[in-house]
Amino acid sequence: MARPTTIPYGAGRFLIGDGADPEVFVAPCGFTQANVTIDKSTNETAVPDCDDPDAPVWSETGVTTMSWSMQLQGVMAKESYALYEAAALSSKSVSVRHELKGAGTGTGTPDKRYQGKAHIKIQLQAQRGEKYQVTLDAQGDGELTSTNILIAP
C-alpha cells in the first residue's frame, strides 16, 4: 500500500481583508484549529420507472442552496484581536481567505485558496489558571471560490 501525501497544520493559514482598495489581507496569529465547511441543502424526488410502475422508485437528489463557513480556534493573541473584533462589530461582510500550501494542482499552482465574503462572529472563553481562548466563526455571504495558486514564500 502506498502512503498518502499529507498536509500539516502549519501549511494552512486564515486571512482577513482590510476592505481597502487594493485590499490587504492579514493572517491573525494564535489559532490552533481550523475548519472549512462547504455545505448543500438538497431535495429528493422520487422518479418512477415508466415501463414498470410496480418497480421500486429511485430517488434523485437536487441541490437547492449552497453555503460555506470557516471556524478557527486558539489562544487570544493580543496582536490580532483588534483585527477580528473590528470584523465582528461590523454589520458588513468582510473578505476572508483560507490558503493551503501543497493542496493545489499543477506545476505552477501547487497551492489552494478558498476565498469569499463572510460575516465574522467571535467568542472569548477563559478559565481560571488558563489563557483566554477565542473562537472565530466566518459565515459565508455568497459564493466561495476555490483557486489553485502559488503562495509566495
Distance CA 79, CA 81 (A): 6
Please check whether residue 2 lies inside any domain of the structure. no
Is 144 exposed, middle or buried, given 0-12, 13-18 or 19+ CB atoms closer than 10 A? Answer: buried
Residues in the chain: 153
Cell 484581536 identifies what position?
Answer: 81
Domain-embedded: residue 18 = yes
Assess if residue 45 is contained within a domain: no
Burial group, residue 21, by CB count within 10 angstroms (0-12, 13-18, 19+): exposed
CA distance 137 to 129: 25
Q: What is the mean pLDDT of residues 5-29?
A: 93
Confidence of residue 1 (pLDDT cuts 50, 70, 90): confident
**What is the average per-residue pLDDT within 20-37?**
94
On whether residue 47 sits in a domain, the answer given is: no
Give the CATH number for residue 31.
Answer: 2.30.110
Q: Say what the pLDDT of residue 146 is.
A: 96
CB 78 within 8 A of CB 134: no
Q: What is the pLDDT of residues 32-64, one digit of tens each?
A: 999 999 999 999 999 999 999 999 999 999 999
**Would 44 be classed as within a structural domain?**
no
Domain carrying residue 14:
9-39+66-149
- pLDDT for the residue 101: 94
